[in-house]
Amino acid sequence: MSKLYFTYSAMNAGKSAILLQAAHNYRECGMDVMLWTSVHHAKHADAETGEIESRIGLKAPAHLFRPETDLFEAVLRRKTEGQLDAVFVDEAQFLSRGHVWQLSRVGDELGVPVLCYGLRTDFQGRLFEGSAELLAIADDLREARTICHCGRKATMNLRHDASGEAVTEGAQVGVAKSDYDSLCRKHWRERVERHQADRA
Closest residue by Cα to residue 36 from 64, 17, 14:
64
In angstroms, the CA 46 to CA 99 distance is 20
> What's the DSSP call for residue 176?
-
Q: Is the dihedral of CA 18, 132, 178, 195 positive or negative?
A: negative
The number of residues in the chain equals 200
132 neighbors 98 (Cβ within 8 angstroms): no
Residues with catalytic roles: 91
43-77: string of b/e by CB count within 10 Å (b at 16+)? Answer: eeeeeeebbbbbeeebebebbbbeeebebbebbbe
